[in-house]
Structure 1
């Protein structure tokens, strides 16, 4: 038992010792892991490039970089802010992207100038870092043209060790030669101004997407606007009344002001009209051909676009295939924008021109091939500040210029329909572009005029990002048929355009690429449009009573025509019998007032007897049936009239003969009574006398009392 107690005491002692050691270790680890109250966590300092002046540095330039450094801690920070430069010339565009994508602890470059700062807790300071002329240490020969990576680092003390606490990277654009010696890049920028008319009030508000697109580009003549003219008409309230409430755009003071700005400032740009309602050329360029827009809408759009260009298509697909280009040609557009691909067959040709030609069954179309890197840089720059974003786009362009000293390059920047610009950033980028000696801004027409440079390219077989939700061929045929039906029907109306126009315009609206993201809503509206056309055709009807008995060889059938439209109509009324025993005579067209009925008599002739099924058709002026025919049955008994006539005639004849016979008979009897005996009848006379002489005397007159 004693040894058991001894072992227990030893175990307890060891347990207490182990626990103390564990506590000491944990406490030490916590102390080491917790920085002093005055220190900052590594990489915890936001650094923002505020400005780079000038955008393009020359050997005579004083370079000034302004940054903002923020201290997120609650205690003051003492730090050094340093401007660094990498003197390696970036000769490939991948190097530009790699510099921005570098990790914070990657090489920041060689230090140029440093400034000590003290930043209070929860505060920020701006620091100007200035490099005098001649101290950059860069090549002064033309070979030195190109971007250099620069960075601004913030170093501070963590514990007793100096650490880099924050970094921001951008570019210095170095141009050692004069402006007339620098190689030129022709740059065209295509900015679409399109959207959903149903979202106009939101999109044209002060911070709305469409307002920001216009604000970002309005002052830069080098930006070509691709505008949906129907969207402008909708915003200003001049779009004709829609066939359905869901297609009617709502307006406000903001939408009208936005439309006025677009219309007034479109003259400062190279502006081009897209298809009305931003129609999908893949659909409207296919069979059957789309219906004609209403005259009122066409007149409105012609007035809006009278000074704009046309004939340029911006497909929904980033990479349009040959079939799409062919359909755009059918729709009237011989120039198509491809937002990417169409690479050169030769992989070593990294900078082909931006214009190529695509042959198709209908002829040849010009394809303007956008630069995907520059388009993305302007749309969604890697840089986090407007100043850095401006240097980023210049860095990409100067690499292109440097690599083509003997060949003038042309580059297209194509912005997406869904562009959500930060106005300040976009304006900083566009300002930098227009100020660069190696950039020449051109319109899309001028860009297309550069022509195909002959570079063999890979033409895609399929379109990238092609939507599965566009109208199918059968859906498109059904929509065109609705427009055709309404147009045919409208011939009977006093104002045909008021009936057919809204239907045709609605068909165009349903082809908009804006619906490709909302297939269910589009199909629902298409079904409602179909119902509306059915109601339109049913607005003209024939009011029928019971079946008709016709016992005459010729007569007139009364037909009542009803019109439920808001305007008068003129219709032809025709009877079509299923048997030749009944034939009708055509009558002049009948005018029916709004919401009223008119009864007309249709002359008919009948032969024989039998039931005849008759269709009543209402026709337009060209003989087209404009409503569902009505039917009724005519019981033809035309021989009843002849048989009755014969019978009645026979009876009358018999009655006449009988009357004549009786008359003759009565006449003979009267003659015998009134005349004496004739000389030829003496015996009869003697006999009479003898009879008289033999009478009794009592029979003489006066012999009786």
Structure 2
């Protein structure tokens, strides 16, 4: 747990030391094996109640422990205590100083009473407040800790030493372990243990939403070129606008990122269970090869749905088959909802008035493979604070909206935490619990800020929070909604997340509740009037990280260019992948975690199209002499792409002396060349520069242009023809004269006879 410094904390530590000194003598009887502690060797593992065993670990000081001594409790056994059970604390002491640590004592204390509120429990865990503590163990370390060394300790505490007597005080109890030296507290750590004496309560019903979406770094990697999809010389430039852009420094990272993403998504789909709602981005499944068998609205708009990762391979790969089966299993095991295509940021789009883009994202989701597999498409999950503008922008097909944690707070004073549901404008609005949603993502949320939780503290805090909610009204079951933050779900190991989900839903004071049952319960509360009054939603509540109109404009310009490039390719997905869907990607809620990464993605997507374009060129030519008034000019087109491309060859003359008649469409073979014959007309003589441009069908320039220098002598052909004709006439006349002259020669005597 991170620790906050200050006068208050110093005072608390002084009180801790004083309490330790005062109870030193009294604590000895609580620890029957204390006399044996001094003889316990470093390898001792069967620790007696109240004793401490240490094991020296390799030196591994980090930035947090450098220059000071730190202590961390890493495990509890058991994590949920029954009456009469001992508890074992395991942890690590790290000496980050340059002095040997000797003569240190471990002081373990437990809260005397259970916290009454979830905020109070979080504040205590964050070391922001103190409560009455009972000392449960006071043990000296048997070994010195060398500078830079770490010591693994285990402290087993007898049930007789624990202040667990009144069963009405069941639930979470904070445990504090301090390391003291003389009258000084060197360091301390806090965690939580749950006491369950077997009381009977009406359990709290819990529904957890888990997003299956891509992180900014993953989206950047997926819009970078797949290995082999582009020529070596035509890769996009290295992005520099975002810290997360390191994932896209090389196209070689593509396959590794794709494999890791596949495993992560597969692991998240395996979390499907009662009380767990998986919110899946259909676009993410599509890029992993899970595609719809029906045409989508994207086809009508010219934005292709990416095939298997855009790498040119068959969309039905073994990995895609695994994901399809996992998706089907998830639908059967629990609840799966399909998010708007690309996990569109509905709140941001509503604020920008982008109703068409919002509607397109919802429609594409309805046509997706996830929807065909049985995923619910009537649920929308707002990435930012929910407001009236967003609700008004949603179509009637959306009947359930998941708000942001903390939205629509209760408008009346209550002594308990109410259900996280309300009905508004004919829709069911689910309001997640802020503290639990932060904890399941690994954050400790308090009034003073937030901090990172260890795996142990996250699990125990979730158990403690649900226990407190149940204790507030043990005879009244309520509906709790918890959401895993998008950013956290993209970073957490699915197995770690599975442990937190289990801690949240699997206890004697909670029970998992599916989405359908949750909606029925919300409807019953609304009809019976049991729904609590809440503060009205604001008309508009813009939040940090929302996509801007300028960003969407840049994305549209990039998409227009990519559509033009795609029109010349025989297989656009293989070369461009999901980059052609750049507008939908730019509208994703994932970018709220890294706004600059969205700008990088747009530039990277455009660069991918330019890389394709740069792989085409009109080959340069030496000076051409044109002596006729019309001719078919040969133009050689060269391609280094791995697929056929179809382009229009367009000529632009620098002078009116030479005019182009029409463009010529040619198909250039993969890695080859072709010669196009383009008709031209000369109307004068002189030197002309002719620019050869390659164009897509919509007239957009693609490829690398070249310039040819021509010497146009259109009259030479006429002059030459006249001269040649004159020569022929002269020769003809001369021949006739010669023939005539020969016919007039004098007759011989014989001829006269």
TM over 0.5: yes
- The equivalent of 2:544 in structure 1 is 466
Relative to structure 1, the CA distance from residue 445 to residue 226 in structure 2 (aligned partners, 3 Å threshold; closer, same or farther) is farther
Q: 1:671 to 1:98 in 2, by over 3 A?
A: closer
1:416 counterpart = 2:485:
yes
The one-character-per-residue Cα deviations of 1:266-296 (angstroms, maximum 9, x if unpaired) are 5211122345665655678876959999xxx
Residue 431 of structure 1 corresponds to which residue in structure 2? 506
2:371 and 2:377 in contact (8 A); partners too: no
Residue of structure 2 in register with 1:441 after alignment: 513
2 CA distance for matches of 1:657 and 1:258?
A: 92
Residues 486 and 499, structure 1, Cα contact 8 Å, conserved in 2: no
Report matched runs for 1:278-317 at 5 Å.
Answer: 280=345, 302=369, 306-317=373-384
- Residue aligning to 2:333: 268
Matches within 5 A, 1:292-371: 302=369, 306-317=373-384, 319-321=385-387, 329=394, 335-343=400-408, 346-348=411-413, 351=418, 354-357=421-424, 367-371=429-433
Range with bigger deviation, 523-532 or 38-47: 38-47
Contact 1:401-1:409 within 8 A present in 2 as well: no
C-alpha separation in 2, matches of 1:303 and 1:82: 49
CA contact (8 A) 1:173 1:395 kept: no
The SS at the match of 2:207 is strand
Query: Deviation of residue 244 (structure 1)?
Result: 9.6
Structure 1 residue aligned with 2:675: 599
1:222 aligns with 275
Distance 1:67 1:202, change over 3 A: farther
Aligned twin of 2:132? 105
Contact 2:661–2:680 under 8 Å retained in 1: yes
1:571 to partner: Cα distance: 3.4
Q: Is 1:127 aligned to 2:194, yes or no?
A: no
Tell me, in whole angstroms, the C-alpha distance in 2 between the residues paired with 1:558 and 1:510: 43
Question: CA–CA distance in 1 between the matches of 2:727 and 2:175?
Answer: 130
Q: 1:656 to 1:136 in 2, by over 3 A?
A: closer
- The one-character-per-residue Cα deviations of 1:219-263 (angstroms, maximum 9, x if unpaired) are x50121223466678889999665799xxxxx999x999997676
Give yes or no for contact 2:279–2:336 (8 Å, CA) kept in 1: yes
The alpha-carbon distance between structure 1 residues 522 and 338, as it changes in their structure 2 partners (threshold 3 A), is: same
In the TM superposition, residue 561 of structure 1 has moved relative to its aligned partner by 1.9
Corresponding position of 1:570: 646
Task: Report the alpha carbon displacement of residue 352 of structure 1 after superposing the two structures with TM.
Answer: 7.7
Q: Tell me the equivalent position of 2:569.
A: 493
Q: Distance in 2 between matches of 1:203 and 1:605?
A: 54
* Distance change (3 Å), C-alpha of 1:613 and 1:173: farther
| Structure 2: stretches of 5+ with no match in the other structure | 1-18, 32-49, 51-72, 92-101, 142-153, 177-189, 222-246, 248-254, 292-305, 446-455
Residue pair 2:204, 2:466 contacting (<8 A) in 1 also: no
Equivalent residues of 2:627, 2:712 under 8 A apart: yes
Confirm or deny: 8 A CA contact 1:204 1:258 kept in the other structure. no
8 Å CA contact 1:334–1:366 kept in 2: the answer is yes
DSSP-derived class of the 1:627 partner: strand
Q: What is the rounded CA distance, in whole Å, between the counterparts of 2:20 and 2:505 in structure 1?
A: 48
Q: Is residue 172–residue 391 contact of structure 1 (8 Å, CA) maintained in 2? A: no
Based on CA coordinates, which of the two structures has the bigger radius of gyration?
1
User: Could you tell me which residue of structure 1 aligns to residue 633 of structure 2?
Assistant: 557
Instruction: After TM superposition, give the deviation of residue 542 of structure 1 in Å.
Output: 1.8
Q: Which has the higher contact order (CA 8 A, sep 6+)?
A: 2
| Equivalent of 2:207 in 188, 195, 199 | 188
Tell me, yes or no, if the aligned pair for 1:354 and 1:369 is still in contact at 8 Å: yes
CA-to-partner distance for each residue in 1:194-236, whole Å, 9 max, x for gaps? 464579999999xx99999788x65x50121223466678889
Alignment root-mean-square deviation, CA: 6.5
Shift in Å, 1:537: 1.0
**Aligned positions, number:** 565
Matched with 1:681 is none
User: Normalization by structure 2: what TM-score?
Assistant: 0.55
Q: For residue 544 of structure 1, give the secondary structure of its aligned residue in structure 2.
A: coil
Cross-structure match for 1:113: none
Deviation at 1:306, TM superposition (A): 1.4
- Contact persistence 2:338–2:370 (CA under 8 A): no
Structure 1: stretches of 5+ with no match in the other structure: 1-31, 54-63, 109-115, 139-146, 155-165, 246-250, 359-363, 675-705
**Residues in 2 aligned to 1:71 and 1:503: alpha-carbon distance in whole angstroms:** 50
Partner Cα distance (1:224, 1:570) in 2 = 47
